[in-house]
């Protein structure tokens, strides 16, 4: 069983060190228990998806210890600043445009140009995040498709050994995830209902607020989101060779990848090839996925050939994302 520990200063320091070194820690918030990883470290975030056993990537909420920690990650307009001032720390998540130079990883945002941010209202969460010194990505700390955890033993029962340390903080106060508000456009839209209502939000920003709820755990407007996942040039999956005018998204050794017409993929110029993981490490590959697709998405290539990625563990989510990109 994983370690469940009372959040003494020593244990919180140990937990913060686990987060800084790229490991997972489950921690209490006022809504539900979260499964946290350093949001700025793609491989650490990949561990969240692997532990939850999710078959696809969805964008995660990055948690700050305060507004200051998050100001560099997103463009906060007047509405966002007013909402942060009134409701943070608290059960409100804001979706905002990502800011250039932000440190949150592409994987935490599932490759989107937007980011979900919140400051939780729980002393253990706040101390942990402050000590870690970085935004912490944290979905609910349960296996995919199971109930959200409101007590430390729920986390242990659901995730088992996948999480090395669970900070115990009693029962979660709300037992319901935070309200998610999309502020990326001129309209203010609640995309996940939670403890705060549209009236609360509307009164704060003095503007109308609508609900546009998606099915549980599905991001808003999947059609729109899929466009972000898809590069402008076609994707060809399970490639066993590469055309001279194609880019190559490699996985593992390229020793036996040939270039049509002669030559080996290992001789391709740097701008034409990216290797998700030369050693075939799926966590490393997941962390690189979105950035590498973007880097190869160049109109001078007729498409991107993608080598086979094993459909095990987090490879299932990677294949899901690539298949959607190939189909669009």
Told to check if 60 binds ligand TXA by CB under 6 A, we report yes
CB closest to ligand TXA, residue no = 34
Nearest residue to 13 (alpha-carbon basis) of 96, 171, 121, 132: 132
* Calpha distance 66→46 (Å, rounded): 24
The answer to whether 167 and 12 have CB atoms below 8 angstroms apart is yes
Told to check if 93 binds Mg ion by CB under 5 A, we report no
Told to check if 95 binds ligand TXA by CB under 6 A, we report yes
Give the binding-site size for Mg ion (rule: CB under 5 A).
Answer: 1
Told to check if 219 binds ligand TXA by CB under 6 A, we report yes
Told to check if 105 binds ligand TXA by CB under 6 A, we report no
- Name the binder of 29 from Mg ion, ligand TXA, none, CB < 5-8 A by kind: ligand TXA
Told to check if 54 binds ligand TXA by CB under 6 A, we report no
Q: Could you check whether the bond before residue 89 is cis, i.e. omega within 30 degrees of 0?
A: yes
Mark residues 138-167: x for contact with Mg ion by CB under 5 A, - for none. --x---------------------------
Closest approach of Mg ion to the CB of residue 140, in Å:
3
Q: What are phi and psi of 12, to 5 degrees?
A: -65, -40
- Name the binder of 61 from Mg ion, ligand TXA, none, CB < 5-8 A by kind: ligand TXA
Nearest residue to 283 (alpha-carbon basis) of 106, 14, 6, 46: 46
Among 27-35, 67-75, 161-169, 276-284, which window interacts with ligand TXA (CB under 6 A)? 27-35
Among 16-24, 29-37, 49-57, 239-247, which window interacts with ligand TXA (CB under 6 A)? 29-37
* Calpha distance 194→87 (Å, rounded): 13
User: HSE on the CB side for 321, CA within 13 Å?
Assistant: 25
Give the binding-site size for ligand TXA (rule: CB under 6 A).
Answer: 27
| Other Cβ atoms closer than 10 A to 300 | 9
């Amino acid at each position: 069983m994983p370690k469940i520990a009372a959040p003494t200063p020593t244990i919180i320091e140990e937990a913060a060190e686990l987060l800084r070194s790229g490991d997972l820690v489950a921690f209490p918030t006022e809504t539900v228990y979260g499964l946290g990883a350093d949001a700025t470290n793609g491989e650490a975030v990949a561990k969240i998806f692997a532990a939850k056993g999710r078959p696809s990537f969805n964008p995660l909420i990055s948690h700050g210890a305060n507004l200051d920690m998050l100001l560099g990650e997103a463009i906060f307009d007047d509405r966002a600043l007013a909402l942060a001032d009134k409701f943070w720390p608290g059960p409100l998540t804001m979706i905002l445009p990502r800011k250039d130079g932000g440190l949150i990883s592409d994987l935490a945002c599932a490759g989107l140009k937007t980011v979900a941010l919140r400051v939780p209202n729980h002393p253990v969460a706040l101390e942990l995040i402050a000590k870690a010194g970085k935004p912490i990505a944290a979905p609910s700390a349960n296996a995919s498709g199971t109930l959200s955890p409101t007590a430390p033993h729920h986390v242990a029962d659901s995730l088992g050994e996948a999480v090395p340390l669970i900070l115990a903080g009693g029962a979660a106060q709300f037992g319901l995830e935070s309200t998610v508000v999309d502020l990326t456009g001129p309209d203010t839209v609640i995309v996940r209902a939670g403890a705060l209502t549209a009236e609360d939000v509307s009164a704060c920003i003095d503007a109308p607020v609508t609900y546009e709820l998606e099915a549980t755990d599905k991001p808003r407007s999947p059609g729109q989101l899929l466009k972000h996942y898809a590069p402008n040039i076609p994707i060809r999956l399970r490639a066993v060779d590469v055309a001279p005018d194609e880019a190559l998204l490699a996985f593992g050794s390229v020793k036996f990848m040939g270039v049509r017409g002669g030559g080996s993929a290992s001789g391709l110029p740097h701008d034409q090839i990216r290797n998700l993981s030369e050693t075939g490490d799926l966590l490393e590959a997941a962390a690189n996925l979105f950035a590498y697709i973007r880097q190869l998405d160049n109109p001078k290539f007729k498409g991107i050939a993608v080598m086979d990625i094993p459909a095990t563990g987090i490879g299932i989510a990677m294949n899901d994302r690539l298949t959607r990109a190939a189909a669009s």
